[in-house]
Structure 1
Amino acid sequence: MDRIVLHDYFRSSASYRVRIALNLKGLAYERREVNLADGAQKGAAFRSLNPQGFVPCLEIDGLKLTQSLSIAVYLDQTRPDPPLMPRDQADGAHVRALALTVACDIHPLNNLRVLKYLQGPLGIAEDAKDGWYRHWVSEGLAALEAMAAPRAGAFLFGDSPTLADVCLVPQLYNARRFSVPISAYPTLRRADETASAHPAFAAAHPDRVAQEDLVK
C-alpha cells in the first residue's frame, strides 16, 4: 500500500481533526507541515494539491483529499473499524449534526483568515476581534451542549469516540487558547476530558506535534 501523507499545520483545527481520525484508525502517516503563519498555503506548490489553499490535504490511495470531514468520512468508509459513525441511521444523523455544528457553524467564523481580515482590511481593533471570537464560539458551544446532553455518554455520543468528538476536541482546544469560558458546558467538558485521555487524541494534540517537529 502507498504511504499516507498528511499536509497540515500543527495548530489548524481542521488538521487536528484529521490527525485524530488517522490515529483512531491506526494508520501510520507522514506529516508535511504547511506553515500557515508564513503563508505557505498560498504558494503554487501547495495550491497544486489543494486549489483552496487550505489545510489539511491527505494523499492516500492515489488520491488527494481535502476538507477534514470529507477525509474523515472517506477513512470511515474505506477503513470501517473502529467506526467513526454509528451504524444506526438516526444515531448517525445525530452525530453528523454535532460534528457539523462545529465544522460549519462555529469554526468558520473564528478561523485565522477571518480574524486576520477583521483586523486587516476592516480595521477592527484587537479587543473587538476577540469579542467577535468569544461571541460566536460561546453561542455555538451553548447550542452544542443542548444538542449533545440528552444522548451523551463518556463521549459526546455514547461511550465510544465518534466524528463528533473528532470535531469537539480541536474546537475546545482553540476556545481555551482564546480564553473562552467553558464552565457552562459540562457535557462538552466531560467528553473532551474522556477523549483527550485517549491515545489517538493525545498523539494528535498540537503541543505534542510541535514537540515532535522540534525533535526531528
Structure 2
Amino acid sequence: MNADYELFWVSGSPYAWRVQLALGYKGVPYISRRMDSAQLAERSPAFLHLNPRGKVPVLKTGDAALYESVAIIAFLDRAHPAVPLFGQTAQEHGRIWQRVSEFENYTRDLFDVEIIRPLLRGHAKDDPEVMRVSAARAYDALGWMERALSEAPYLAGDELTAADIVALPNIQMLRRVAARPEAIEMVLGLEDLGARLPALGAWLSRMESMRGYDAAYPPHWRS
C-alpha cells in the first residue's frame, strides 16, 4: 500500500466518489480514511488543518493536503499520467475541461439544489408541483449530455476521461433519490433516465463496468 496517499471521504459523497473512481481507474493505491457524517459535522481541528472548509474529499500526500474533487483528479492525472484522464493533446485537454465545466456550471447545481437536497431533507412534498417542474428542468439540463453521447461513447469522445468521472456520481445520486417512494408518488420520472435518454442510459452501463467502479461504490448503498 502506498502510504504517500491518504484519502478522507464519506460514503455517498459524490465528490469523494469522483476521486475514488479516478484512483481506482488509474490503479493508484491509497490508504482509506473513511469518515462518518458525525465526524465531518464535528470538524475537528486536525481535519480543519487538512481542509479549512471542513469538507471531503481530502487527499493527503506527504505533508501536503489537497481538497476540491476536480483539483485532486487533475493532480492525480499529472502525477500518474500513464492512464490519462485529461487527454494527451492540447485539443483533447481543452475539450475535456470544457465538458467538466459544462457539467459543473450548468447541470450539477440544478440536481443538487432543486431535487436531491429537498428529497434528502424531507422537504420535497412541501410543493410537489415545484418538484415536477424541477424534474422537467433536469431533463433539459441533461440534453447536452444526451447529444454528446449520441455521437461518441463518452462525454469528451471515444475514451473515458475526467469529464465522465466528474459527472457519474452526481447522476447516480439523482437516480438514487428519484427512486424514493415520495419521488415516485410525485411522478418525477427521474428514476429511469435511460428510458427517455437512451444514449445516457447506455453510457451509465458502460461507466458501471469501468475499472474501479465496484470498489468505489458507496458502501452504505449496498445495504
**Same fold, judged at TM 0.5 (above):** yes
CA separation of 1:193/1:71 partners in 2, compared to 1, >3 Å: closer, same or farther? same
Aligned match of 1:204: 216
Gaps of 5+ in 1: none
Aligned match of 1:43: 43
Gaps of 5+ in 2: 179-189
Aligned match of 1:174: 173
Cα shift at 1:211? 7.7
CA separation of 1:139/1:81 partners in 2, compared to 1, >3 Å: closer, same or farther? same
Superposition pairs of residues 118-157 of structure 1, within 5 angstroms: 125=126, 127=128, 130-131=131-132, 134-150=135-151, 152-153=152-153, 155-157=154-156
Aligned match of 2:4: 3
Equivalent position amino acid for 1:78 in 2:
A
CA separation of 1:123/1:58 partners in 2, compared to 1, >3 Å: closer, same or farther? same
Q: TM-score, normalised by structure 1?
A: 0.79
Cα shift at 1:89? 2.1
Please tell me whether the aligned partners of residues 9 and 57 of structure 2 are also in contact (alpha carbons under 8 angstroms).
yes
The question of 1:115 aligning with 2:127 is answered no
Cα shift at 1:159? 3.7
Q: TM-score, normalised by structure 2?
A: 0.76
| In structure 2, C-alpha distance between the alignment counterparts of 1:99 and 1:79, rounded to whole Å | 20
| In structure 2, C-alpha distance between the alignment counterparts of 1:78 and 1:210, rounded to whole Å | 30
Please tell me whether the aligned partners of residues 99 and 156 of structure 2 are also in contact (alpha carbons under 8 angstroms).
no
Q: Deviations 1:66-122 (Å, cap 9, x if unpaired)?
A: 11100000000111011012212222222222222233333334447x836x969x9
SS in 2 for 1:48: helix
**Segments ≥4 residues shifted beyond 6 Å:** none
| In structure 2, C-alpha distance between the alignment counterparts of 1:86 and 1:5, rounded to whole Å | 25
Identity rate of aligned residues, in percent? 22
SS in 1 for 2:142: helix
The count of aligned residue pairs is 206
Q: Deviations 1:33-70 (Å, cap 9, x if unpaired)?
A: 2323x362452333222122221111124321111100
Structural RMSD (CA): 3.2
Single out whichever of 98-107 and 51-60 deviates more from structure 2: 98-107
Single out whichever of 17-26 and 102-111 deviates more from structure 2: 102-111
| In structure 2, C-alpha distance between the alignment counterparts of 1:39 and 1:128, rounded to whole Å | 36
Please tell me whether the aligned partners of residues 42 and 53 of structure 1 are also in contact (alpha carbons under 8 angstroms).
no
| In structure 1, C-alpha distance between the alignment counterparts of 2:11 and 2:215, rounded to whole Å | 12
